[in-house]
Structure 1
Amino acid sequence: MSLRVGVVGATGKMGRVVCAQVLEDPALELVAAVARSNAGAPFDTYVGRSTGLPVSDRREALLEARAQVAVDFTHPDAVLANARWYLEHGLHAVVGTTGLGPDDVEALRALAEKNGTNAVVAPDFSFGGAVLLHIARIAARHFPYVELLETHLPSKAEAPSGTTMNTARELAKVRPSPSPVVTSRELAPGVRGGEVAGIRVHSLRLPGPPGIEEIRLARAGELLTISLAAYDRAPFANGAVLAIKAVASRPGLTYGLGPLLDLDGD
């Protein structure tokens, strides 16, 4: 029997790619497509194939369609309320929308445990992103200087990205000490970037690939650069599909894709 899946944010750029992959997977069945606008429109026009589904602007459509898993690729302003709703209404949740802070994640973890529902929450569902973070965690234990550089499209909803925010927080957890003080005086305000968990972050917004993350780590005489470029959204959908299939068997809340890939320490 196929797993019944509803996607919220289904008509967005990421949502459409996830829906297309769900439709192609014989183990999954797309039963609901939810979005903020164009309610009643045939969803076929967004994925270029016959689905028999209308676009709905109601989360209740997930329940009416007897979805087992809700997938959320919406907006940072909406994701927390959405995730709470899924878990409170008996739906397992796969959440790829960025914007959830550490306190939000812990609140969702408690809610999942209370309601007996499961969630996989990841600011980056790409396999490459999970491996990059795993490698960077190892390196950050040995390199005192760490700075992050991320590039996204000008339409990106936030800066820095949720992925980069998470990377900074995760690396800060494993570093033996803060970065040494850099005494350079800024001749233009903000030219040294922002700071997340004590790590400098630089955000570029340019046309090109949807996402590039670069981590630079240094110590006396050495510079280590770890970089990942995503040329389209398919890699993130691949990870989301993996999470959809795994979420029912992972009690409580799983954070990040690393645990699903059996990356040691994740």
Structure 2
Amino acid sequence: MKKISVMVNGLPGQMAAMVARHILKDERFTLFPCSLTGPEITEKTCTVVNQTIELIRPHDRESAMEKRERPAISVDYTHPSAVNANADWYCKERLHFVMGTTGGDRKKLAESVLNSAVSAVIAPNMAKQIVAFQAMMDYAAAQFPGLFKGYALEIRESHQKGKADTSGTAKAMVTYFNRLGIPFSEDQILKERDPAAQHRRWGIPQEYLSGHGWHTYSLTSPDRTVHFEFTHNVNGREIYALGTLDAILFLHQKVILGEKGKVFSMIDVLKGV
């Protein structure tokens, strides 16, 4: 089987670097020798394992790519502020992509793909087990609307200091709880980015302060006699990288089948539809 060429964008960032390392270790893939990076990055190259990757700033992307063979799939782990511009560029260049970066205008992001000749997997969370939990909550919201009407909700999330936006997973969970009868807005999510507080108050291990995703959703009845709590805590980034590989394989199969202008989710990836 021909190896799938994958362009991992966002190097030298830690999430992009982890995905790139997995690409190099996996015989099903080859790592494309270029990566889109931010305008603030001064390095011209970075090394992943033993491979040198050229870092391409936004204003250099056309000239850097015009003489190269296109990768089969692009993966985006860049920055929330770059989501829409990058997606528009992928669509213009006909690069099918996996969008692992959160933030940006998500409606516009989907519209860009739907109006293009490319397909994409777009998900705020690439961890399959957490995505399955979200699917369970979506099912509950559809089958039992208003179930928690009157309950008080608290959503807390903690991520590494460098994560600029509120957790995309937490924001998705807000929509499920709304349908379950609880009025709650995204700006009510309690967001922690202070490493000292994360270690002292949350109990997050020191070695994972630079890479973690902790979420807790607490529901309390009006008379405070009943309490529900759902928690998923991830230390490190491994779970997201492995899910990203599955998304790449899924999308590549869709491309082979001729799918264009389609937006897929990680739930689609789980189902293998």
TM-score (norm 2): 0.77
Give the Cα separation in 2 of the matches to 1:127 and 1:243.
10
- Size of the aligned set, in residue pairs, is 238
**CA-to-partner distance for each residue in 1:46-103, whole Å, 9 max, x for gaps?**
x3x2224333334344562421111111111111110111022111010111113442
Matching of residue 149 in structure 1 with residue 156 in structure 2 = yes
Question: Matches of 1:123 and 1:87 in 2, distance apart?
Answer: 19
2:96 to 65, 74, 92: 92
Pairwise CA distance, 1:139: 4.4
Instruction: Name the one with the larger helix percent.
Output: 2
Report the alpha carbon displacement of residue 195 of structure 1 after superposing the two structures with TM.
2.5
Amino acid aligned to 2:7: G
Q: Return 5+ residue gaps in structure 1 as ranges.
A: 180-193
CA distance in 2: counterparts of 1:23 and 1:123, whole angstroms:
24
- 1:126 corresponds in structure 2 to 127
Hey, what does 2:189 align to over in structure 1? 201
Task: Please give the root-mean-square deviation of Cα atoms over the aligned residues, in Å.
Answer: 2.6
| Partner residue, 1:184 | none
Q: Match of 1:51?
A: 51
Instruction: Give 1:242's aligned amino acid.
Output: D
SS, match of residue 261 in structure 1 = helix
* Distance in 2 separating the partners of 1:139 and 1:200: 22
One-letter code aligned to 1:8: N
Residue 257 of structure 1 corresponds to 266
TM-score by length of 1: 0.79
Give the distance between the partners of 2:87 and 2:176, measured in 1 at CA. Answer: 22
Describe how 1:1-266 pairs up with structure 2 within 5 A.
1-31=2-32, 32-36=34-38, 37-41=41-45, 43-44=46-47, 47=48, 49-57=49-57, 58-60=60-62, 61=64, 64-111=68-115, 114-115=116-117, 117-140=118-141, 141=144, 142-144=147-149, 145=151, 146-158=153-165, 160-172=166-178, 174-175=179-180, 177-179=181-183, 195-196=185-186, 200-207=188-195, 208=204, 209=208, 210-219=212-221, 221-250=225-254, 251=259, 252-262=261-271
Q: Deviations over 1:220-255 (max 9, x none)?
A: 643221111111011111111111111133434434
Partner of 1:182: none
The answer for the alignment partner of 2:201 in structure 1 is none
Q: Partner letter of residue 135 of structure 1?
A: M
